[in-house]
Amino acid sequence: MRQERTRWWSGVLAAVGLGLVLANGLALAEDKAPATQGPKAIIKTKFGEIEVKFLPDVAPNHVENFIKLAKAGFYNGTIFHRVIPGFMIQGGDPNTKDSLKKDTYGQGGPGYNVKAEFSDLPHKRGVLSMARAAHPDSAGSQFFIVVEDSRFLDRKYTVFGEVTKGIGVADKIVNAPRNDRDLPNDRIEMTVTIVE
């Protein structure tokens, strides 16, 4: 009888001990939980939404610039004005808000430039990078999303984000019928929202 009681108490104590270990383990797991992610962008088009996470550790000034412009509504009503199958889709030019100024598409910006923040991150499918003119420090507002790995761009353009959802939307955009200047025949407008 005494042995049974002892065994019973041993079982209870073992169960309590296991419970404490599990509770401590959960507490430790909660302490090590990843920090909440930073802001992300939702690019809404007639084909659906593209969700992008930023890479502020790699290109802080480009991330800050994009977020600032998006929050100001700068991108709303602009279009994807350059689509090249097997390569990328490009947008963010304020000139594209006016359908009568097609000859100026690809030339617009916010009125200032952002200094290059080149890195070793590869231009793989789903990467968000900044378009620019010939000078490395000439980026402003125009950006592109890579739909197929394009490693020839590495260390020449600033990678500052990557698509986390909706890469299929980019695929639809890149395959839209286009003219000989890679401008889609039909307007593909966007609105860009920042989600904190």
pTM for the predicted model, two decimal places: 0.81
Q: Each residue of 141-150: pLDDT tens digit?
A: 999 999 999 9
Q: Are strands 48-54 and 40-45 parallel, antiparallel or unpaired?
A: antiparallel
Q: Are 178 and 83 in contact (CB under 8 A)?
A: yes
Question: Residue 184 — very low, low, confident or very high, per pLDDT cuts 50/70/90?
Answer: very high
- Cα–Cα distance between 9 and 3 in angstroms, integer? 10
What residue spans define the domains of the chain? 1-33, 40-195
The answer to whether residue 100 scores a pLDDT higher than 80 is yes
CATH architecture for residues 40-195:
Beta Barrel (2.40)
Q: Each residue of 34-70: pLDDT tens digit?
A: 445 789 999 999 999 999 999 999 999 999 999 999 9
CA dihedral 148, 154, 156, 161 (to 10 degrees): 70
User: Which value, in Å, is the radius of gyration of the alpha carbons in the chain?
Assistant: 25
| pLDDT of the residue at 37 | 72
Write the DSSP symbol of residue 169. H
φ and ψ of 18, to 5 deg: -60, -40
Question: Residue 21 — very low, low, confident or very high, per pLDDT cuts 50/70/90?
Answer: very low
Instruction: Please state, for a pLDDT cut of 70, what percent of the chain lies above it.
Output: 82
